[in-house]
A and B are shown apart, each in its own frame.
Chain A
Amino acid sequence: MIERVVENWLTNAGERGGYEIAFRQLLSFQGHRILHKSSHGPMEQGKDIITIGPDGIPCAYQLKAERDISLTTWRKIKGEVDELVEIPIQHPSVSNDSPNHRAYLVNNGYLKDTVRRLIHDSNRVAKRRGFPELHVIQLGDLVKDFVAVHGRFLPSEPQDFKRFLELYARNGRELLPVGEFSAFLLSILRFDEKKLSKSEFRRAIASALIFANYVISPYRETQNSVSVINGWVLVASHILAVADKAGLSGQTWRESFDLCMVGVEESFKTLLVGLKGKDDFRQGDSLTDGLIYRARTTLLLGYLTTYVHYLRLRNEKSEFEDEIARFVERERKHLLFWGEAATPTFLSIAWYLEAHNQQLDAEGMILSITQAIAKLNGPENQGLRLPDPYHAVDEVLRMYFPLGQEGLDDISQEDFEGHSYSLRTLIEWLARRLRRQSLARLWEEITHICFSEFVPDPVWGTFLWYSPQGKLHHRYPGRPQSWKDLLNQANADRSTTVPELLRERPQFLLLFLMVCPHRLAPNLVGFLDEVISSASE
């Protein structure tokens, strides 16, 4: 069965990027050291991926998604293939004295007989001229190799397999159901098994990453980049959870984590290319689109600004910076604070505005959502309240419209009055900007709201969508509250309370909070505030 799924996924991978990350994971699992991944420009010299093989021989791969390669297709790609074979690998890690590299043409289909014959003949000529032979990896080889990586790390229970098939068959235009995806990843990673060897952990992680490719593929096909980003971030966070829980060395998991980040970066680029030149963020049927336009805009501005922070924290700059600036300027009037799950989005936009010399606008925005929480979840409000961050945007919109979700989920049975998961974080954010008068004006309303905070225990629970263990704490704001104490608390260095794996990669932290907004906590945002502000200076 799994062979059929892998084959189906591969043949439907509409473009090279559809299986490239999974293929790199496959190589890594087979013992290759990946040196280079091409940005697919003219400098790639026919080589999409360069590795050092397990036997020390350099290898170069050209990836295609051509289904069956006919003579016409072959003529189209021959230039690249010739470069793959004839131009030596130029990379600092590959010595000029190295023997000939191995050259591979990888395709998610098969070769027509005429082309196979041509390659056979070319290889004889190449051998005479001292060039390497061209090896071909075809659909059947890929299926066999991918299935081999999974080993026993397949959905083992019927319900896991059912969940996988349901995820795989999802409509790619929806948002990725992160809770279900997380449960599926845990089943592949054998998260509850205690005694896995180091090599088994490597295999489990590799298997999860390749399975993630299958699950994400419907979203990639429809260019639903936000869902693809969510998917990769979630795989990455689950890798961190396994690494932390089992105390794995970086060697076992870092390559896979980095591959997830490649997936994230490529999806951001796809998103930005798709948005380039657009006058607005409208999508699909105009009759209903206006009703969800603000929610979509909020999501998009959150992700776009998060991407800017992500790059800045890596000392990089997006080629789309001007485009993003235009989007933020043009669309920010449509922002909608639909629930507490949108708090990381608003923080990201506020940090972006600060970095672009719009300090007052940034503070005004955070002040307004602070006030919204205090008012809407306060005792005086008789209308709809702001759902906690465990409720995703589509679920909340169903409540607002209202579409009648009686019994469909728990949102209709919960009461959000009198508590908030993000209020304390926002108050501290404002306190760090010395907004004493504004907070003083709001303090009476604020004191009616309990600060709620879930603390996963052990720490690895932080990286999961649902932490099986941990405690929920509710605390009232100070009545009265000393400004001096609040300021000290907000400015205290709490970086040591940030999980080490997140502290080491702050560029991942904001992305993670966008996907798992219920993990937003004052210490994490305090830490991010510090690193993002420093990076912007």
Chain B
Amino acid sequence: MLPDFPKLRIQLTRKLLSDFEKQKHVKSPLLAKIKVVAQHEGSGGTYETEDGQIKQLNPKHVTVPVESPIVPGPSFTYEEALKTICDAAEKMARAQTKSFFAAVHEAVDEVGNAVDAKGQPISAELILKAWERMHFDFDKLGKPKMPTMVFNPIQAERIKHEFERLHKEPQLVKRGKEIMNIKLADWYDRESRRKLVD
């Protein structure tokens, strides 16, 4: 047995795992926004949705291979190890994002909340249509907590333009306000139910 430095290596593993998590969130900011609720024992369970439905919790196992840094010889630097970790983090981010969208699709299909663009490119009108079907929360001053919207990066310029239209074109601004007023009324209605009654 050659000297193995086990304690130091445990600490290095922890550090690399911590960097792995950070990199995962850099690669997919969407994942960073998702709350992590740990299940410490057992497996699966149930949860309640905002509208009172009981759903099954079926955790999925997501793994990615982590390979040794490709370097000439057996020795490598922490930066080289970190590069391997970054690659793995990117793969994990992709796998988890895919799994996340699959779950979202399933939920959207189930409640019939999908907006079919019928092959049309994304537009301010479509965004408003999506808002109409979405659940909005508001802060105490009545300001909406805007949802996270995920688009293909190829469409970035177009999305930017369409959002500008939402804020500039009087027709769209008016419609946007109407939708938000309805959503605000819904929210007030929901909030008014947060009480202990007879």
Q: Give A contacts to B, CB under 8 Å.
A: 388, 390, 406-408, 410, 413-415, 417-419, 436, 439-440, 443-444, 447-448, 450, 454, 456-457, 461, 466-476, 479-484, 486, 518
User: In the docked arrangement, what's the CA distance between A470 and B46, Å?
Assistant: 11
Question: Which chain A positions have C-beta within 8 A of B42?
Answer: 454, 456-457, 461, 467-472
Chain A, Cβ-Cβ closest to B14? A407
Q: Does B41 touch A at the CB level, under 8 Å?
A: yes
Distance in angstroms from B151 CB to nearest chain A CB is 26
Question: Which chain B positions have C-beta within 8 A of A419?
Answer: 37
A450→B15 contact, CB < 8 A: no
| Given pairs A406-B15, A410-B38, A415-B35, 7 additional interface contacts (CB within 8 A) | A413-B36, A414-B36, A443-B195, A470-B41, A475-B47, A480-B196, A482-B197
Q: Does B87 touch A at the CB level, under 8 Å?
A: no
Question: Which chain A positions have C-beta within 8 A of B193?
Answer: 479-480
A476→B52 contact, CB < 8 A: yes
Of A417, A443, A479, A484, the most chain B CB neighbours within 10 A belong to A479
B37→A414 contact, CB < 8 A: yes
B198→A482 contact, CB < 8 A: yes
User: In the docked arrangement, what's the CA distance between A469 and B44, Å?
Assistant: 9
Distance in angstroms from B9 CB to nearest chain A CB is 13
A474→B45 contact, CB < 8 A: yes
B198→A484 contact, CB < 8 A: yes
B17→A407 contact, CB < 8 A: yes
B18→A480 contact, CB < 8 A: no
Distance in angstroms from B1 CB to nearest chain A CB is 14
Question: Which chain B positions have C-beta within 8 A of A468?
Answer: 41-42
B196→A471 contact, CB < 8 A: no
Question: Which chain A positions have C-beta within 8 A of B134?
Answer: none
User: In the docked arrangement, what's the CA distance between A469 and B45, Å?
Assistant: 11
User: In the docked arrangement, what's the CA distance between A286 and B48, Å?
Assistant: 48
B38→A483 contact, CB < 8 A: no
A472→B44 contact, CB < 8 A: yes
User: In the docked arrangement, what's the CA distance between A457 and B43, Å?
Assistant: 10
User: In the docked arrangement, what's the CA distance between A481 and B40, Å?
Assistant: 30
Question: Which chain B positions have C-beta within 8 A of A436?
Answer: 196
Distance in angstroms from A165 CB to nearest chain B CB is 15
* Chain B interface residue bracket vs A: 20 to 34
Chain A, Cβ-Cβ closest to B20? A407
Question: Which chain B positions have C-beta within 8 A of A475?
Answer: 47-48
In chain B between 35 and 74, which residues have their CB closer than 8 angstroms to a CB of chain A? 35-48, 50, 52, 57
B48→A474 contact, CB < 8 A: yes
Distance in angstroms from B69 CB to nearest chain A CB is 20
B196→A413 contact, CB < 8 A: no
User: In the docked arrangement, what's the CA distance between A417 and B35, Å?
Assistant: 8
What are 18 A-B pairs at a CB distance below 8 A?
A407-B14, A415-B36, A419-B37, A440-B195, A448-B194, A469-B43, A470-B42, A471-B42, A471-B46, A472-B45, A474-B45, A474-B47, A474-B48, A479-B194, A480-B195, A482-B196, A482-B197, A483-B198
User: In the docked arrangement, what's the CA distance between A415 and B32, Å?
Assistant: 11
User: In the docked arrangement, what's the CA distance between A469 and B14, Å?
Assistant: 28
Chain A, Cβ-Cβ closest to B190? A479
- Residue from B40, B46, B50, B196 within 8 A of A473 (CB atoms): B46
- Residue from B21, B35, B37, B44 within 8 A of A471 (CB atoms): B44
A466→B38 contact, CB < 8 A: no
User: In the docked arrangement, what's the CA distance between A470 and B21, Å?
Assistant: 28
**10 closest Cβ contacts across the A-B interface?**
A470-B42, A407-B14, A472-B45, A407-B18, A471-B45, A447-B194, A440-B196, A474-B47, A415-B35, A443-B196
Q: Give B contacts to A, CB under 8 Å.
A: 14-15, 17-18, 21, 35-48, 50, 52, 57, 190-191, 193-198
User: In the docked arrangement, what's the CA distance between A468 and B40, Å?
Assistant: 10
Of B21, B37, B39, B48, the most chain A CB neighbours within 10 A belong to B37
Question: Which chain B positions have C-beta within 8 A of A474?
Answer: 37, 45-48
A476→B48 contact, CB < 8 A: yes
B196→A388 contact, CB < 8 A: no
Distance in angstroms from B100 CB to nearest chain A CB is 16
A444→B194 contact, CB < 8 A: yes
Of B40, B43, B47, B198, the most chain A CB neighbours within 10 A belong to B40
Of B44, B48, B196, the most chain A CB neighbours within 10 A belong to B196
Question: Which chain A positions have C-beta within 8 A of B195?
Answer: 440, 443-444, 480-481
User: In the docked arrangement, what's the CA distance between A461 and B52, Å?
Assistant: 29
Question: Which chain B positions have C-beta within 8 A of A472?
Answer: 39, 42, 44-45, 57
- Residue from B35, B48, B196 within 8 A of A481 (CB atoms): B196
Of A418, A447, A454, A472, the most chain B CB neighbours within 10 A belong to A472
Chain B, Cβ-Cβ closest to A465? B41
B41→A454 contact, CB < 8 A: yes
User: In the docked arrangement, what's the CA distance between A430 and B190, Å?
Assistant: 25
User: In the docked arrangement, what's the CA distance between A388 and B195, Å?
Assistant: 25
A406→B18 contact, CB < 8 A: yes
Question: Which chain A positions have C-beta within 8 A of B57?
Answer: 471-472
A413→B41 contact, CB < 8 A: no
Distance in angstroms from A512 CB to nearest chain B CB is 16
Distance in angstroms from A30 CB to nearest chain B CB is 37
User: In the docked arrangement, what's the CA distance between A205 and B47, Å?
Assistant: 38
Evaluate whether A407 and B40 lie within 8 angstroms (CB atoms) in the complex, with A443-B195, A450-B48, A475-B48 already known. Answer: no
Evaluate whether A473 and B194 lie within 8 angstroms (CB atoms) in the complex, with A467-B41, A468-B41 already known. Answer: no
Question: Which chain B positions have C-beta within 8 A of A413?
Answer: 21, 36, 38
Distance in angstroms from B74 CB to nearest chain A CB is 25
User: In the docked arrangement, what's the CA distance between A468 and B44, Å?
Assistant: 12
User: In the docked arrangement, what's the CA distance between A454 and B191, Å?
Assistant: 28
A407→B198 contact, CB < 8 A: no
A483→B194 contact, CB < 8 A: no
User: In the docked arrangement, what's the CA distance between A472 and B17, Å?
Assistant: 26
Question: Which chain B positions have C-beta within 8 A of A390?
Answer: 38, 40
B21→A480 contact, CB < 8 A: no
Evaluate whether A480 and B38 lie within 8 angstroms (CB atoms) in the complex, with A407-B17, A407-B18, A473-B45 already known. Answer: no
A518→B48 contact, CB < 8 A: no
Question: Which chain A positions have C-beta within 8 A of B191?
Answer: 444
Distance in angstroms from A428 CB to nearest chain B CB is 13
Question: Which chain B positions have C-beta within 8 A of A518?
Answer: 40
User: In the docked arrangement, what's the CA distance between A447 and B192, Å?
Assistant: 11
User: In the docked arrangement, what's the CA distance between A36 and B195, Å?
Assistant: 58
Question: Which chain A positions have C-beta within 8 A of B39?
Answer: 454, 472
Chain B, Cβ-Cβ closest to A464? B41
A483→B197 contact, CB < 8 A: yes
Question: Which chain B positions have C-beta within 8 A of A414?
Answer: 36-38
User: In the docked arrangement, what's the CA distance between A484 and B41, Å?
Assistant: 34
User: In the docked arrangement, what's the CA distance between A461 and B14, Å?
Assistant: 30
User: In the docked arrangement, what's the CA distance between A301 and B25, Å?
Assistant: 43
